[in-house]
Structure 1
Amino acid sequence: MASPHVDVDDLIATLEQIRKRGHSAHSVFRDWVELMLYALQRRDEPYLEILEDYRERADLDQPEGQRSPDLFATAFGQLQERMAETDADVLGAVYEEYGMSSDAFGQHFTPHPVCEMMAGISGIVDDSETDGRQTVLDPACGSGRMLLVGGRRHPEALFVGQDKDPLCAKMAALNCCFFNLDAYIVQGDSLTIDYQRAWQTTHSPMGGSVRELDEDETEDLRDSLTGAFENTAEEVAPDDAGQDSERQKEGESVSVSTLSGGEQASLLAFDRDQ
């Protein structure tokens, strides 16, 4: 189904109550995202560290249910309800409506209808043509909107997203968890293969889970991606590229060998059962 217009006015109104108590919109949204991410990982220490910034009189001298920590929890509940109603990237919609996107960095999320169209016209590889599970890759994933649309069409696939904006990477990790996808989300520049942090989300019948990889696991993830690309690039002969060009002219799908380095590495490293 196509994603409808996402109304997030009630969510923004809740976050605005916190902002008006002496906080910036950016810090409120960032802290809300991180609180949700830490809560889902059951990481109490960093969760409580964030809440220390919301213990001023303006935050705590409120009736029960209206304190800033309560409002963060209320916004989390509103987010879950709206996602259930729309099956859309509600978190990314709040990010955009709350004025968090940046013209200076060329940061604009792909509209939901465009994501639906792109997913609809993308070539689908038949299972018989692959050695393992299919992989969906977005090397500049933002809030993970394209991955979520792909997840509705191919929930059994593995999803790999990367974004150099720390907040966007965290939103993408949350979204993949919320939508119960098997995914790896990397914070870092896909053009330079820079991996700063990474999260893994895991599908289960009881709902998705998320965990942050430690430094060694993140480095292993990077090595597996780049290693897969280097090994495969050596096997690609010039004639193969020419044949791919001819197939492309004839309207046939292009093999993975014609993708860019980062795309090729991600697809090949994860094109297997986990």
Structure 2
Amino acid sequence: MSQLSIFDMVISEPVAVSEPVKPVVMPVPAFRHVSADTARREFIREFRHTAPYHRRWDVFSDFIALAASDLDMARIHTAEANANAARIYARYKPDDMEKLKNLFSLLVDALTAQFQDFLGSVFMELELGSGDMGQYFTPYPVSQLLTGVLTGDMHAQLKTCPYITLSEPTSGAGGMVIAYAEAMRDAGLNPSEQLLVITTDIDPVAADMTFIQLSLLGIPAIVHTGNTLSLQVSRTRCTPVYYINDFPKRVREHERIQAMLNFIRNMG
């Protein structure tokens, strides 16, 4: 059985990461030039009418699972991905699968229009938070404010390393990371080439929300589903631009150079 996909515009074949590829430049190219506010309103409206025979949380988590699977270049053709997609497909009528496709297009439209924590904001507006886990996603303007206060001299940081490494141990939907990437862009830098993000969240849906948004915004990231305190990780996903801009090789080369410099310093 071939890979089931609801997202026609998503890369369907893995990229050969060993070959040099021209770096990706943010933001993601516009598809339909829909404003962020329009995309959010349409997403909320469409979601509320999608698969009314299922709980809203189930529809949202299925949508997130399908989107994350289709953006996961390392697993897109695996038997596990095929089986999970088939299981979700079987739960929906054809008309509702079309609605899920439209939801993804609206997500792309919103993130193309501007940097934002789109999934976190609609999650809160739809009141999908888990009472047991106490999920609350920080409003994006607050993330922007915190980033402005905490961000140091990015240009100075890049003098010692060709990329800035950012760690987010409780990523939620990725709002703080997105705000940091936006600040880099506003400073005249390119997050697709000059930022490497490592995130963790204990909730698989939240981790996938982070993965989806950072993937669509062209932010190189290693996204863990796991417990930051216990250091247990159940799944790791890397965004497409992490492979396309060859960050595995860049990290190895930087570490090799640093090891050589440390050796020279110790010899002196």
1:80 aligns with one of 87, 108, 112: 108
Aligned to 1:145: 175
CA distance in 2, matches of 1:40, 1:114: 28
CA distance in 2, matches of 1:136, 1:104: 29
8 A Cα contact 1:6 1:93, kept in partner: no
Aligned to 1:25: 56
Q: Structure 1 residues 16, 208: CA separation in 2 closer, same or farther (over 3 Å shift)?
A: farther
8 A Cα contact 1:142 1:169, kept in partner: yes
8 A Cα contact 1:39 1:47, kept in partner: no
The one-letter code sitting in structure 2 at the alignment partner of 1:92 is G
**Deviation for aligned residue 1:133:** 2.4
Gaps of 5+ in 2: 1-35, 185-190, 247-254, 256-268
Q: Structure 1 residues 105, 128: CA separation in 2 closer, same or farther (over 3 Å shift)?
A: closer
8 A Cα contact 2:158 2:164, kept in partner: no
Q: 1:99-155: per-residue Cα shift (whole Å, max 9, x none)? A: 112344232111111111111111235236634522111100000111111112231
1:179 is aligned to 2:217: yes
The two structures have a TM-score, normalised by structure 1, of 0.64
Q: Structure 1 residues 164, 208: CA separation in 2 closer, same or farther (over 3 Å shift)?
A: farther
Q: Structure 1 residues 8, 138: CA separation in 2 closer, same or farther (over 3 Å shift)?
A: same
The one-letter code sitting in structure 2 at the alignment partner of 1:10 is E
Aligned to 1:203: 241
8 A Cα contact 1:6 1:86, kept in partner: no
CA distance in 2, matches of 1:179, 1:16: 25
CA distance in 2, matches of 1:53, 1:196: 26
Percentage identity across aligned positions? 23
8 A Cα contact 1:177 1:208, kept in partner: no
CA distance in 1, matches of 2:110, 2:161: 38
CA distance in 1, matches of 2:142, 2:38: 14
1:14 is aligned to 2:46: yes
CA distance in 1, matches of 2:245, 2:51: 30
Aligned to 2:201: 163
CA distance in 1, matches of 2:122, 2:86: 24
8 A Cα contact 1:163 1:186, kept in partner: yes
Q: Structure 1 residues 208, 106: CA separation in 2 closer, same or farther (over 3 Å shift)?
A: farther
Equivalent position SS for 2:215: helix
**Deviation for aligned residue 1:203:** 2.3
CA distance in 2, matches of 1:137, 1:152: 16
Q: Structure 1 residues 84, 9: CA separation in 2 closer, same or farther (over 3 Å shift)?
A: same
8 A Cα contact 2:147 2:180, kept in partner: yes
The one-letter code sitting in structure 1 at the alignment partner of 2:129 is S
Aligned to 2:128: 100
User: Structure 2 matches for 1:129-144, cutoff 5 A?
Assistant: 130-144=160-174
Equivalent position SS for 1:143: coil
Q: Which structure has the greater CA radius of gyration?
A: 1
CA distance in 2, matches of 1:11, 1:93: 11
User: Structure 2 matches for 1:208-227, cutoff 5 A?
Assistant: none
**Deviation for aligned residue 1:39:** 2.3
CA distance in 1, matches of 2:195, 2:88: 35
Aligned to 1:263: none
Q: 1:240-270: per-residue Cα shift (whole Å, max 9, x none)? A: xxxxxxxxxxxxxxxxxxxxxxxxxxxxxxx
**Deviation for aligned residue 1:68:** 0.9
The two structures have a TM-score, normalised by structure 2, of 0.65
**Deviation for aligned residue 1:5:** 7.4
The one-letter code sitting in structure 2 at the alignment partner of 1:33 is I
**Deviation for aligned residue 1:15:** 1.7
Equivalent position SS for 1:77: helix
The one-letter code sitting in structure 2 at the alignment partner of 1:163 is D
RMSD of aligned alpha carbons? 2.7
The one-letter code sitting in structure 1 at the alignment partner of 2:64 is V
